[in-house]
Structure 1
Amino acid sequence: MAADDVSVDDKVKRTRDLLSSFYSQDASQISPPSNTTSRFATLDTINTTSFDADQYMNLLVHKSNLEGLLQRHVEMAAEIKNLDTDLQIMKNNIVGMEVNMEQLLDKIMSVQSKSDGVNTLLFEKREHIEKLHRTRNLLRKVQDCKKASEEVMLVIVNKLEDKVSSDSESIQARAEAVMLLKQLDFPVEKLESKLLEKLEQFLEELDLSKDTSSDSANPHESINEGIESDSIPPRPEVPTREFVEAVHAYHVIFPDSEQHLVKLMHDLTTRHFEAAKQQIQEQVSSAKLSNRLRFIWTDVLSIDEVLPEAGLQDFAYEAARDVLKQYVTSLFSYLLHEISDALLQIQKDGIGEEYPLRAALEASKNALIQGSTKVLSDIRYLLDEDLGLVLKLRDMIISWVQEGFQTFFTQLNGQLLLLSGKDVPTDKVSSGLVLVISQLSVFIERDAISRITEEIGSSLLGGSYEYGSSAFYISMRTQRISVLLRKRLTTPNWIKHKEPREVHMFVDLFLQELGAVGSEVKQILPQGLTRRHSRTESNGSTSSSRSNQLRDNRSNTNRARSQLLETHLAKLFKQKMEIFTKIEHTQESVVMTIVKRCLKSLQEFVRLHTFNRSGFQQIQLDMQYLRITLKDNAEDEAAVEFLLDEVIVAAAERCVDPSPLEPAILDRLVQAKLAKTMDQEPVAS
């Protein structure tokens, strides 16, 4: 059994060796293993290139018996047969494989040819597909960028929307946020109503009732403190500036919201004036009301700049008219209340006065006079302020005051009748109160009305109320005479004027006009108290020395100019002459006012021309004649002397050679003119 196994193994090994040697590329590389036995090594040489058949047979005979040889023969014959069969099969298979390989090669070549054709046909499409593929890759990158930018824009839009909706942000900041949203193509129309609601809410929360100034209740304290405090009013904080800026921004952002914004502007102005009315009800001072009106007018001008379509100025004028009329009415109402309180003090126990009726009468008189003066002072304070709202309503305010006083005295009459017990049982009325009311009525009739009327004229009309027409008359006459003086100065060529031989004719015309004035006023106006101001009694009395200095003999122009310098230096140390004083309802006051205004006009006309020596001497001669002729008719001689000297000095300043006439020549020419005038008067009579 063991021998069979060994033979099988040997057979397998030999077959493997044969196949290996057959398929080996180099049979010489196959050598028998070194560890085999000599028998196997020798017998195995059959598969080598150095096979020796004789040696092999000798070894085989030597090593094997007969049966073994026969067995070996049979095996080898069978093995050779099998191998031959196998080789034939392999040969046939190889030949078939060559045919198949050729067919396969033909098919491969055909496929390759068709593939090349397909490649040629699809080359352009393949290039286009590759381009599309690259574009697709780029689009993916762009989509990523777009997605990132959209996310950023979404964040920005959300933040801007939050900013618009935030109450902590200012309205101006929210308006800027809307502008940015509009630049981002965000549909801002839906925000319009939201922002306008915010604007309305801001307007509702805006506090306009607080005081806009730090002035005291006394409207004239600032006047008493100095010119600076009077001329520079306080600049209140303007809480509506942000509101106005927001309206301007919304008007630009939302053009369709113009009507809504106009309504808001009107509401703001209405609230302003409602706050002013509330202050009036609290008995506000004229200074605070003036600051309130200035505050309102500032807002109106600001709004008119950004939204002129609102027409806010006309709207403000209408509202201001109601407010100012209410203010004037409230002043008289408070005045009537104060007088009533002063009278009712009699009915109170424990007054502590020794003469309570006298005290009540004096208190009521003071309340009437001082209260009326305060009313006029408050109104005057408003009129003197440079307020756009008040300037247009000035005449209307003055008319309201005049009508208010008429209504006030009517109401006061009714109040006094009520307090005196009209339609009331006698036992319920204090007799002392009736006595005080009767005396107060007499005071009102005799003194109070005239004084208050005078105050109305001086405070509101620029002069006495009953003498307002006198001021107009003075203005008309002065203008007429000024035309005469201007023609006199503009007609001749003063730089080529000849030496004076007589007083100029215009002096006669001037005196004729003054004579006509005197004749007219004597027919209408009363004669005043005789108060002649001589030169020594006037503040400007020493100014006449200037004309005396100019009449001194001068040897040359330098001396004349030296005299003028001394005149100016002396003028610096003199008290100021009050030329234009208050106009009184008398003949002397009206005539004197016209004379002073005409001489002042003559001085200004002289300053507009240049004179030679003869022209200057002509002016000197004319003024000397006026000095004599006006001396007897002038109420204020000092003022006339002062103004005549001013005319001569003005001519000297404008003269190339200011050498005056010799005193003897001057007196001779003046006396000749006086004599000629005296001769003409009997002929005229």
Structure 2
Amino acid sequence: MDVDLPMDDKARKMRELLSSFYSPEASIGKASLRSPTVDPIDSPSFDLDLYMTNLIQKSNLEALLQKHVEMAAEIKNLDTDLQMLVYENYNKFIGATDTIRRMKTNIVVMESNMEKLLEKIMSVQAESDRVNTSLFEKRGHIEKLNRTRSLLRQVQFIYDLPTQLTKCIKAEAYGDAVRYYTGAMPILEAYGDSSFQDCKRESESAISQIVKNLEARLSSDSEPVEARAEAVVLLKQLGFPVDSLKTKLLEEKLDHFVAELQKETKEHTPALDGPAKAGRLSDSSRQGSSKNSNDQASIGELAKTVRAYRVIFPDSERRLIEITKALFSKRFEATQQDIKESVTASDLLTMLRIIWTDVTLMDEVLPEAALCIFSLEAIRSVVNQYVTSSFTRLLHQVSDPLSKMDSREKGAMQENLLQIALENSKKAVMQGSMDLLLDFQQLLDDNLELLAKLKDSIVDWVQEGFQDFFKALNDRSILFCGGNILTKRKDQKLPDGLQGDKVLAGLVLVIAQLSVFIEQSAIPKITEEIAAHFSGGSTRDYEDGPAFVPTEICRIFRSSGEKFLHLYVNTKTQKISLLLKKRITTPNWIKHKEPREVHMFVDLLLQELQAAESEVKQILVRCSTPKHHRSDSTGSANSSRSNPLRDEKISRSNTQQVRSQLLESHLAKLLKQKMEIFTKIEFTQESVISTIVKLSLKSFVQFVRLQTFNRSGFQQIQLDIQFLRAPLKEIADDDAAIDFLLDEVCVAAAERCLDPIPLEPAILEKLIQAKLSKS
């Protein structure tokens, strides 16, 4: 503490110290606001005074003591490290000093030795110069004699050349003969027409014989490969056109051999169905070992041939590669043809394993052909075709039961045909898909090297295959149903291009229920199997998204199933509407006679509805909770034979008053009931049949409103409608709606009648009973 400060300054200083001690955070905060930034302690620009000033300002007494302890420990550690560094390098310094001392001593000794060596070299050089000078004249004479001697030897060799060639021919030493002849060629070319004419002629005759012998050796298959290769080399040295030999031998023999292999490859048994196929597979399994051994022997011979011709014709590599690739291309084409004719996964694995073994063997002989890469791409195409063909066959299996139903002949429908076709199609979809997954799983589980490389691709192909299969199945279902799916309201008619007699209604209903089965049962099961065994895959682009999208397939079949069901209802409704239209438009209602019986069209109408009911019962299930209950509170539904017209006290003398009362009664009924006639069509028997009946009666109302009736015509309509009440309620299972629509028909006829006087209840009942007794 400074003792020279005034008292006020000392007191202020003391207060600041106490304040910083008891309020360290506030003191540090204020100091940090007014203290400048200090450089790190290791930097060259470190300011000691500034560091200490900031440290005193920012820290209290306890922090300063702690900082002191830390810095003391760091200083001690640095001193220790410095001492260890000196100790570790001390021995190195001593060793370097000793080495320099030894080098200095050795250099002194080396200088003296180099001086002695230089003296000896100079002495040797002087002695050599003296010897060369003394022997200079004799050396020139010796070199001249040596050249003369060499010339004489060459002349003697030329004279002895025919004899030497003859001996080589007898000993089959064609290599020595070619060496002798090529060595003598310069002299024979220079002096063969003068001094050595006879020698040249005899030598050429011998060489011609040697060429013939070499050609024979080259053409002989019994000769070793090394001997045949040596023959080619010797013929090249003699200037013989070897390219023509390569064309003659390589093209003829190797092409013939490859043709034989291709012939064996093409000899495959076509795929059969049923017991014949099972027999073929069993025979194939029994003969598999012998066939494999024959194939291996053939490829082994091809490998030997390729190896031999590579030695014989070193420049034939390109042609050998072309021929080998052509051979394996033919084999892959044969495999693809087998796939088109249907093979199992086991058969495909057997074929691929044989081909891959052959590829490996040929790759050792001809690695430049890169057969492994070439075959991998070809096998990728083969496996892809197998997956695609499998889904195509599955599509046919599912479609065949449906196509057998697609007959336009009347009376071709046998009992329960719709139910049988539906069950067969369900089984084909579910069991066929599971069988395909088992076959594809067998491909993934096999230990074949090339299939392991294609695992991701196979997974993608399987997922894409199921996606495309279900889309194709939906498209084919649309074609079965006339090539068009209605998107209009269910109470609208079919377009002119899709009339009811051109679409087999039962087939449409089967396809509608099959779509529901695929959405609710098949897709979840297949999705589960794919997730368990065929998840992954990495060959598709990220933008393409997943290969198999079950939600999209479910949406497609849900939408198609509803449209098919609407199409079935519309088809049946249109057929019945044509019957109703013909019934209403044919008679002259103005001149209609008094009704004597229920009209025969009622029987035809009930027959059509019963036929639709029979089809629906084969395919659809019953509703567990009926939506429309029979009640006695809905207007005219009081009894099976009730009629609101019968309860009205209509005066026969006042036609206008009768019509007014009919309209008032019908309007009161509409306001009271507030009935929902048309509801959403569901996949139940009750919903479909009720909708068909309601739509038919709605059409009946529209046709009636377009006619004008006399009293008898109106009474005929009243009689027919009253008879239909009981059977329609039994078929449609919705009494209130049926009564309401039948009443609408009667009211529409009354509105269009010139004299709407209904039949007496007794007469109406008598005519109905007469019709029932005939039935």
Range class of TM-score, shorter chain: 0.3 to 0.5
Q: Which has the larger radius of gyration?
A: 1
TM-score (norm 1): 0.41
